[in-house]
Structure formats: C-alpha cells, structure tokens
Chains A and B, each alone.
Chain A
Amino acid sequence: MANAKSKEQVSPIGADLPRNDVYEKVTGTAVYTDDFQFGNKLLFARAKRSPYPHALIKKIDTSKAEKLPGVKVVVTGKDFPNRIGLYLQDKTIFATDRVRFIGEPVAAVAAISDEVAMKACDLIEVEYEELEAVFDAEFGASDKAPLIHPDLENYVCPNFIFPKAKTNIANHFKIRKGNVSAAWEKCAHIVERSFKVPHIQHVPIETHIAVAQMDEKGKVTVWASSQSPFAQRNLIAHALHISQSDLRVIAPLVGGGFGSKAGVTMEAIPVALATKCKGWPVKFILTREEEFYTNFVRQGLTIHVKVGCDKEGNLLALKNMMYWDGGASTEYGTNVTRAGGYSSSGPYDIPNVETDSICVYTNHPIGGAYRGFGMSELHTGLDQAIDELAEKAGIDKVSFLKRNGVTEGDVLVTGLIMHKNGIQECIDNVAKSLKFNEKEKPSSADRLRGKGIAIMWKAPAMPPNPGSSAWVEMAEDGNVTVGLGGQEIGQGTFTVMAQMAAAALGVPYEKVRIAGPVDTQYSPYEWQTVASRLTWSMGNAVVLAAKDARRQILDVVAEAWKENTEDLDIINGVVVSYKSERETSLENIVIYGMPKDNNEGWMGGPIVGRGSFMPKYVTNLDAETGQGPRAVVHYTVGCEGLDIELDKNTGTIYVLKGAASFDVGKAINPTLVKAQVEGGFAQGLSSAMFEEIKLVKGVMTNPSFVDYRIATAPDMDFPLDTPFVEVPQDDGPWGARGVGEHPMVPTIAALGNAIYDATGIRLTNPPYSAEKIYLAMLDKGIVK
C-alpha cells in the first residue's frame, strides 16, 4: 500500500456537504404523500365538523348521505369509542357524545370523488344541544367554569402529568425552589408584568394528508405526511383495537411540519373509513382552511411574571403563573405545560423560583406540539420582564444577561445541575454583531430606532425514554444504506445522518444512502421527529450502527489477513493495514465475505450493523415541588437580537439587521445549521409581527393566507448574522445537540425589547403589528 496516511479521508463532519435530497427537490421528482398514485379505486374523504364550540350531540342521521350515489362509506364516532392521546388519553377519533371545538370531526365520508364526499357531508344531519363554552384559560381554571371533560378522572395518563378531577385543569405543574416570598425582601428591584401570547398556526406549505387502506385480512397501510410514523402506528392501532404490527405507516418526504404533523391529528380519519371498505384506499387532505382552524395549534398563553434582583443586578427570585389555553383536548398540550414549568426560569441562574404552569381545557382548537414547545411563549414574557428589570437596575442589558446566564454547575429550577454551555459567547456574538451598546441614529426624522436582545434555552421535551434505532448495510458496490425511522421534514436530517454514517464507517459521504421513505414495516424504530432530538438521539443510533458494521468488517479482514483489528482502518471505503500495508476495498468483503487460505472455505458474510440509543437517566419530578435529579437530557442555549426602525406615521417595523447565535455543540453541517437558524428566525419574526389565530367565541375568523399573514420574501429584506457556538454535548455524536426549534424561541421577546428601546413602550401582547405599535405611540404622545 502506498501510504495509508496520504489517503486520509477528509472528514464529512463539520463539512458543508450538499443535501442528499436536493436534486429531487429542485427537479420536481421528490415524492410527497399526494404524489403517490393509488389507481382507480381511490376514494376521497371529507369530514363533517362541529359548528359549535361546546354542545351535546343528540342525534346523528347519516341515512341521506349514505344514499347519495358515489358514497362508499360513512362513519361516526359510535364505532370508534377508544380514547387516545400521546400523553393524556382524552381524545377520540370523532366526537361521540359531545363536541368541544368548532371544527371537531363528528363524522366522515369516503366517496368516489371529492365533490360527492363534500355533498354527502352536507347531507349528514346532526342535532346538537349547545352548552356554555369556555374561551379563556384563566376563567376555565376557575370553579365557575362549565366542565369540558366531566370524566377527566377516568382518563389514562403517564405519572408525570397531573390532571385535577372535576375541573378543567388537565395538568398542573409546580416548581418550588428556594424561598420566593422571603427573597422579595432582598430584592432591590422588582418587575411584575402580564403577557398574553395568542394562538398561532404552524402553516406548513403542504397541508396534512393521509391515505389509508385495509386489506382483506384486516391489515392497514397508511401513507401520511408525518413527523411520527411510529407514534401514529401505536396510537391509531390503539384507537382501532388492532395490533401495532398490523398497522403499517409509510411516511415519505414532508412538506413542512413544525410540530403540526407530530402525534395523531387527522390521520386516524381515513383509517377509520378504510376499516369499513376493505381493499379501497381512502385519501384525506386538509384544505388550507381546515389546516388553519381544525388542526393542532400553538396554544395561547397568559403569563404573569414577577422577577427581582439585588443592587448589583443578580437575579434573586422569580414567580411565574402560566395559564395555557389547551383547547378541547390536551393529549399533547399537557406536556407543553410541563416543559413550560420545568424550564420556567429560562437560561437564568435564579435561586428562588415558584412556578405554576397550568394547562386548561377550553373550547378552542386543540393545542399541540409547535416548534419551541412552549418556550417561545414562556420567553416572550420572561425575557421582556428581564429587559425591564435590567433597565430598572441601571445595568446595560448585555451585562445583565451575561451576569445572570446559566453556567456549568448551576442548580437549575428542578435541581438538575447545568452542563457546560456557550451562552456567554452567544450573547457576545449577538452584541457584537448589532453593536448593541452603541446608540445609533434613525435614518430619518420620521423614524425611531431601537435594539433588542433576548436569550433562550430549550431542552428536548419528551417522555423520559424515547428511543432511536438504526441499521447499516452495504451493497456489492460498497455503497452503504442507512435504515432509520426519523423523518426528513426539511431540516436536513437525512443529510446529517449520511455524514455521520460516512464518518463512523470510513467511507465517502457520496457512498451513503438513506433507506426511504420511512416505513414502519422495515425501518427501525424512532419515537418521533420532534424536540430537536434527531441529530443527537438518532445520530447516536446511526453512529452505533455504523461502528457495528465497521467492527464486523475489520474482524473478517483481521482474521483473513491474520492481523489485529487495531492495526486496521477503513479509509475512503478501503480497508487498510497500517502494519502490513495491505489493502482491499469494501466491495470485496461486505456481501460475500472473504476466502480462507488454502481453499479452506469462507469467513464473514453480508454486513449488517445495528445501533440503538435511548437516554436512561431522566427521572420523574416531585408533583409538589418539581424537584428531581434529572428533568431533561440537556439544554440548547442561544441568543437573538434585532436592530429596527419604526415608522412614526404608520407603526411599520423595518428590521435593519438581525443576529442569532446558538450553541449547537458541534455543527455537523454548518450550512444546514445556519439554514435552520435563518428559517426559525423568520418564523419567529413572523409570529412576532403578524401571526394570531383570531378567535371570536370559538370561531377562527381568519383561516386563510389573506387574513392570516405569514412572512414573505420582502419582509425578510435585511442582513441576518448567524454565528454559531460549539461547546460539545458530552453524549452527542461529535458533541452535537439539536437546534431545530430554538431559533424561533427568543424572537418575539427580542422584537418587543427593540420596540421598547425605540419607543419606551412595553407591548405585552404579540403580535406587534404596525397598528398596535402606532396606536401605542399615539397613546404615549410620541406621535400626534
């Protein structure tokens, strides 16, 4: 062999390698769920939905719909009574005895065309008896509110969710750390403020879609745009009383998720229909309007914050009262509430903390997972209160954040000890990028200028034991295929997994393929594509699988060459010996094994590596105090800032520059990291300036892109600086941890702080629309 060293592979880790799905995506050949062809038997589904926020169902008459020519099947809730839910099992596929929000499905139709299905839905007659409804979480939590789930005490839930029987409180998470009441006396400065964060929608450009088919033996196949094929298999099987192995979920590329395609939302509806017409595939797509008003939302939050510091600006005490508007079902939202509780201090070191994070049933749309999982809402209040406190204490904001930011060894609100992290550098990066402490002039007399900064943290929010698994196998050409169960939802996980497998195995990146689409029938298990957990968790599984394959290969070669595996290496897909300088490429080994000397037979065989990873150290927390050894696996921290101008005549915000810096542990693919940060920042800014589900007595009054505006290209016309920080995660692959959700977490607060800096006005309730800003300026006498 020439020289193994000279052949040293350029590491795929930390390299800006091109996405492995990009050619398909720019040529229109990438396959999403609606691109599958199902042939002439395909049926189209539509749902009959509740027009009332809260009502008893007295009678459902489907006879007219059933008689309509072209209708194949009509289903109602009576055949599907099983309650399901990711955390709290409080939901049925269709409403059974009562409806709890406008848009809740009460029946569904499968027909030969979409038009017929729609007509049939109109022919379904439902008699309701309206009930008093709950449209406010704080009211809902009071004993004056009518009960939305009178049977709450009978619902099944894990032991870390605390519903309160005979109330609308689906979860009450408490933190009691130190002595808050005593601490107020030691505070030199205290800020107390309330914020109201509205419901918003995820708005993936691809709306929800699922197709289901049951075969003659009763096995079901589902094709779905999904972040959670395995969780869907589990939950839908449970709802239908069939075995998980008899439900197969095939999940192709996803046209945007942001949490909305996690858990089970509408996917069970076509399955229910398919069970009544064996052999026929049933397709159900949400219209854009349905996507807005019937799907999981980011639940609204009312947060009362009280926070204090001493003369020097050291935070001493925090009291948080949070009411989450959980909506008609809190099966997923109860855990958002929990996350809001155990992370309620934000990335600040505060010795005394008291938090009540309360998830309340209301007659609003169902709250689910949303990029950030409670953290954007929490930080919107907390980071603005802290901004105000810094000013009161007369300390510049950057120094205040740096003084109080969490550092390694700090005892967090739950008792968890903080790991090392780069929050100081993140703050420095943003401050430097925006010249934060320089007061700069506006570009004209009609404008005001301001800068805002906010820090954040977020831990993956999940059960204590969500697993990942992976396999690695190889073909005759030496190419590698990685099997995995996490989803490519745009974040680039298939690319990052290929990079990790290539590095761990010793082959070039180009030689690694991902086995897609994910299919629960043959893909290895993955809990869900949520919580920014894949790079870390699935990454660990993929690395283990690749290392396992590598060990198998080296064992065979060592035996064949009569050498020690320690002297062998795989470089660029070639097995080399540093000792004997022999080499052989993987093609020669990975399928057929290697011949023994002297025609004595063979050794080895097809290589299959396996890897499995599950965090084993997360513990439950005390129900009364929220204390416990290890609440979460880790935190990702970061900082964002904005330099803005405001038009005095209109209230319009002009962003001059944005900066965002997150500690990603290790950027496996720096371009993908930056792309995540940019997209998250834009989504955060969009939510800060424009987005709100306008609910009037339970009706969403703006369910279209015209009335629910999201950021467009002209809205993002400013430089955005995204330097990242790399303080390694001790159990992350190459030190990596996730950053998918984090970039939209501190944006509302950063904008609110910038508006304050420009105007002296503290706006509490986002979105901070031009109108709201203008009216506030008028009020304050800044404009006449």
Chain B
Amino acid sequence: MTLKTITLTVNDMVETVDVPQNMTLLQMIREKLSLTGTKNGCSAGECGACTVLMNGEPVNSCMVLAAECEGATIVTVEGLAKGGKLSKLQEAIVKAGGVQCGFCTPGMLISATALLNRNPHPTDTEIRSAIVGNLCRCTGYVRIVDGIKMAAK
C-alpha cells in the first residue's frame, strides 16, 4: 500500500507521519502516535468514543482518513490538561462523578470542550444535544451533564 506523508499538529506538537491511504485518523492517533486515550467503540461513526477536535470541531476520528489531515490541527483527550493541570471541564467531570468505566470519557470530554468553546453558557438541552452522539452505557449521563454544567459556570 502506498504511504502518504502528512504533517499536522496534534496537541500543540507538529508531527510528520507516513500513513497508508486507508488508515483512519483514529488508527493514526492510536497506532502511529501512541496516543491511546482516544477510544474505538464501533469504527463506524456511531458511538463517539473516538471524538477528537479537528480544526476546533469535534469529529469521529474513525470516519476521517488520516491522509486527508494534512495541515490539520488535532486535539485529543491527552491535549486537554496543560502542564499536568486538568482543564476546568476535566476538573468538573471529576468533581461531579461523571466517570465510571471511563471508555466514553475521552470522546465525551472532547465533545463537551467543543461545546463550551463555542457556547460558554449552554442550556441543559444544548448540553444534551452536544453529546447526543457520545454513547455512555454506565452513567445514565446524569453526572456527565452535571459536570459540563459545573464547568460552564
């Protein structure tokens, strides 16, 4: 398979990566960059576990081809805490008790980060619709929504 060399920014680091044409952004992040925080729950764009920020927008990284990410700016869950300090949202989710098995958490945090970036004071309904594509089987979303609300204050 032919490889394509792409250069992109991931969590503030400029990375140059050789990627096969059919490799997804999710595979590249996990396998080439060893950023295993981003999870795979379906490989089909249906669960949100693989959500990352691409140029500021949340995307299902399993549905994006890595080869098309030339020049893109990507933020994964590993990029949320700065210098060992959790983001306000991460702090709030911890405090609210919004984490159980944690498998949806990375994608959930990214979707909520994108929401708060574009809408610092979302309503309850806006919060719930921002994470409608992030499935969580453990929490019933109760404390996840609480955490996002807390971070928005």
Q: Which residues of A contact B (CB under 8 A)?
A: 18-19, 21-32, 34-35, 37, 202-207, 253-258, 287-288, 489-492, 671-672, 674-675, 678-683, 704-706, 710-714, 716-717, 720
Q: Is the CB of A679 within 8 A of B77?
A: no
Q: Is the CB of A705 within 8 A of B42?
A: yes
A257 to chain B, nearest CB (A): 8
- For the complex of A and B, list the 5 residue pairs with the smallest distance between their C-beta atoms, beginning with the closest: A28-B37, A682-B140, A490-B101, A255-B103, A25-B102
Q: Mark B23-47, 1 if CB is under 8 A from A, else 0.
A: 0000000000011111111111011
In the bound assembly, the distance between CA atoms of A626 and B81 in angstroms comes to 57
Shortest distance from the beta carbon of A658 to any chain B beta carbon, whole Å:
9
A713-B102 in contact (CB<8A): no
Residues of chain A lying within 8 A (CB to CB) of residue B137: 202-205, 256, 258, 679, 683, 710
With A and B bound together, what is the CA distance between A253 and B39 in angstroms? 13
CA distance A714 to B145 in the complex (A): 10
A32 nearest CB neighbor, chain B only: B103
Residues of A within 8 A of B77 (CB): 26-28
Q: Choose one: B49, B99, B132, B135; the contact of A25 (CB below 8 Å).
A: B99
B59 on interface, CB distance cutoff 8 Å: no
Please report the C-alpha to C-alpha distance between residue A717 and residue B76 in the assembled complex, in whole angstroms: 28
Chain B contributes a number of interface residues (CB within 8 A of A) equal to 53
Interface pair A712/B39, CB less than 8 Å apart: no
Within 8 A of A (CB), among B130-153: 131-145
**Alpha-carbon gap, A705 to B62, bound state (A):** 15
Which residues of B have CB within 8 Å of A678? 139-140, 142-143
Tally of A-B Cβ pairs under 8 angstroms: 164
Q: Are B102 and A491 in contact (CB under 8 A)?
A: no
Q: Cβ of A713 and Cβ of B134 under 8 Å apart?
A: yes
Whether A253 pairs with B46 at a CB distance below 8 angstroms is no
Subset of 7 A-B contacts with CB under 8 Å: A28-B76, A205-B104, A256-B138, A258-B137, A489-B101, A678-B142, A705-B42
Residues of A within 8 A of B81 (CB): 26-27
B68 at interface, CB cutoff 8 A: no
B 77-110 to A, binary, CB cutoff 8 A, 1 in contact else 0: 1101100001000100110010111111110010
Complex interface: chain A residues within 8 A of B47 (CB): 205, 288, 705
CA–CA, A673 to B124, complex, Å?
24
Within the complex, the shortest CB–CB distance from A172 to chain B, in Å, comes to 34
Additional pairs, 6, CB under 8 Å, beyond known A26-B102, A492-B100, A714-B132? A27-B90, A28-B38, A704-B46, A705-B135, A713-B128, A714-B128
- Report if B2 contacts A (CB, 8 A): no
Q: A29-B78, A288-B41 are in contact. Are A23 and B100 (CB under 8 A)?
A: no
Q: Smallest Cβ distance from A684 to chain B, in angstroms?
A: 9
A671 lies within 8 A of B97 (CB): yes
Verify B140–A26 contact, CB threshold 8 A: no
Question: Are the CB atoms of A205 and B39 closer together than 8 Å?
Answer: yes
CB distance from A318 to the nearest CB of B (A): 32
Query: Shortest CB–CB separation between residue A499 and chain B, in angstroms?
Result: 15
Residue of B nearest to A115 (CB): B22
Q: Looking at the assembled complex, report how far the CB atom of B92 sits from the nearest CB atom of chain A, in whole angstroms.
A: 10
List B contacts of A30 (CB < 8 A): 102
Of B99, B105, B124, B137, the most chain A CB neighbours within 10 A belong to B137
Which residues in chain B, 101-127, are within 8 Å of chain A measured between CB atoms? 101-106, 109, 124-125, 127
Q: How far is the CA of A255 from the CA of B101 in the complex (A)?
A: 5
| Chain B residues within CB distance 8 Å of chain A | 34-44, 46-47, 49, 76-78, 80-81, 86, 90, 93-94, 97, 99-106, 109, 124-125, 127-129, 131-145
Instruction: Closest A residue to B31 by CB, please name it.
Output: A37
Cβ of A683: which chain B residues have Cβ within 8 Å of it?
137, 140
Shortest A441–chain B CB gap in Å is 23
Distance in Å: Cβ of B101 to nearest Cβ of chain A: 3
- Shortest beta-carbon distance, A433 to chain B, in Å? 15
Residues of B within 8 A of A490 (CB): 100-102, 138
Flag if B44 contacts A704 (CB, 8 Å): yes
In the complex, A679→B143 CA distance in Å? Answer: 10
Q: In whole Å, how far is B36's beta carbon from the nearest beta carbon of chain A?
A: 4
Q: A residues within 8 A CB of B141?
A: 682, 711-713, 716
Q: Which residues of B contact A716 (CB under 8 A)?
A: 128, 140-142
B139, A34: Cβ atoms closer than 8 Å: no
Knowing A288-B42, A679-B100, A704-B46, the reply to whether A710 touches B90 (Cβ < 8 A) is: no
What distance in Å separates the Cβ of A204 from its nearest Cβ neighbour in chain B? 6
Most buried by A among B36, B90, B124, B127: B36
Whether B39 lies near A288 (C-beta < 8 A) is: no
- Complex alpha-carbon distance, A710 and B134, angstroms: 11
Q: How far is the CA of A206 from the CA of B101 in the complex (A)?
A: 9
Name the residue on B nearest A29 (C-beta). B37
Complex contacts, A712 vs chain B, CB 8 Å: 131-133, 135, 141
The reply to whether B132 and A26 contact each other, CB–CB distance below 8 Å, is: no
Once the chains bind, are A713 and B78 in contact (CB under 8 Å)? no
Chain A residue nearest to B134 (CB atoms) is: A713
Q: Is the CB of B46 within 8 A of A713?
A: no
CB-CB under 8 A for A22 and B135, given A205-B49, A206-B39: no
> B103–A204 contact, CB under 8 A?
yes
Q: CA separation between A41 and B144, bound complex, in Å?
A: 40
Chain B residue, CB-CB nearest to A681: B140
Contact call A288/B46, Cβ cutoff below 8 A: yes
Closest Cβ of chain A to B28, distance in Å, is 15
Nearest A residue to B91, CB-CB: A26
Q: Which one, A37, A255, A288, A672, contacts B102 given CB within 8 A?
A: A255
Question: Which of B40, B103, B131, B132 is close to A256, meaning CB atoms less than 8 Å apart?
Answer: B103
Which residues of chain A come closer than 8 Å to B131, judged between CB atoms? Answer: 712-713
Given A713-B134, A714-B128: A18 in contact with B101 (beta carbons within 8 A): no
Whether the Cβ atoms of A720 and B140 lie closer than 8 Å is: yes
Residues of A contacting B136 with CB < 8 Å?
205, 713
Cα distance A60–B7 in the bound complex, in angstroms: 48
